Amino acid sequence: MANIDMITQAPTPSRWVGRLLIWSLLILFAIWFLLPAYVVVGTSLKDLEEIRGGSLLALPHELNFSAWKFAWSEACIGVQCTGLKPYFWNSVSMALPSVFLSTLLGAMTGYALTKWKFKGANIVFALILFGCFVPFQVVILPMAQTLGLIGITNTVYGLILVHTVYGLAFTTLFFRNYYVTIPDELVKAATIDGAGFFTIFIRIILPLSPPIIVVSVIWQFTQIWNDFLFGASFTTGGAQPIMVAMNNLVNTTTGVKQYNVDMAAALITAAPTLLVYIIAGRYFVRGLTAGSVKG
């Protein structure tokens, strides 16, 4: 009887062919998408002579990290020869507070719009939602005037304010759609027990929010770290974020084009966002779909 079950459950030749075809296509697509990353990493570990005389797909003869060192601490950007290091920490100093503030304010706004509804709450949400569709270019002039009036133009603090305000529409949308799925009875019961707005938010709502917090953090960090327009428009010199500094480095002509330095600079710039996705990427889709069904 067991032999009969094994025979009936054994994959047929057609199923083996189908599996082989699927795996072959997956491997082919993986190679196709990973090939540019392989070229970037390999080029960053070669010296210029090897790049000129060898193939793009060839492995480095020996690992050479001089391009990484040059891009990080010795590269000349315009008249400043400081490398990407100070600009990297500018981006860290800008991204972390911006992500924290926009996520916290978005959570509080989404909480207020769903659990403490007031007259005109839907209109307020629609106006906030409208901010998701406003292009960067539209807000550059009013933002520049506002930063000038406050006195924080050409500073990291100015970029923190810009990214917090611009990201608030997206984080509010995330949290509002997620909090709609949380039963109102929890808030009503806490209110009967004497809990107020912030007590309910901190002790009840936030402990239920990790999935959507991960979504907000990944979204905001990626948008802020990869931003070029705001950094180039509102800062100059030593206050610029790393994305602008990398652009300056790649477009700085100092004789021979140093492709290995350019590739190393690109990898240094992309490393934080890649690390965030490696650590928390699997929770991203899970957090997005967590608020897709009410009940």
The pLDDT of residue 78 is 46
Give 133-176 pLDDT, tens digit per residue.
888 888 899 999 999 999 998 999 999 999 999 999 999 999 99
Cα–Cα distance for residue pair 49/261, rounded to 1 Å: 13
The pLDDT of residue 77 is 45
**Residue 193 corresponds to which amino acid?**
D
Spell out, as residue ranges, where the chain has pLDDT lower than 70: 1-11, 74-82, 253-255, 286-295
The two tokens of residue 288 are 């997005």
Cα–Cα distance for residue pair 240/238, rounded to 1 Å: 6
Please list the residue range(s) of the chain that carry CATH number 1.10.3720.10.
85-290
Entry pTM? 0.83
**Residue 281 corresponds to which amino acid?**
G
3-state DSSP assignment of residue 142: helix
Q: Where are the alpha helices (DSSP H) in the chain?
A: 2-9, 13-44, 48-53, 66-69, 85-115, 121-130, 136-150, 156-179, 184-192, 197-200, 210-225, 229-234, 242-251, 259-280, 282-290
Question: 110 near 182, Cβ under 8 Å?
Answer: no
The pLDDT of residue 254 is 60
- The architecture that CATH gives domain 85-290 is Orthogonal Bundle (1.10)
Buried b (16+ CB within 10 A) or exposed e, 214-230: bbbbbbbbbbbbbbeeb
The CA dihedral of 239, 240, 246, 247, to the nearest 10 degrees, is -140
The two tokens of residue 61 are 């003869």
The pLDDT of residue 20 is 87
The string of DSSP codes covering 72-86 is III--BTTB---SHH
The pLDDT of residue 16 is 83
The pLDDT of residue 295 is 45
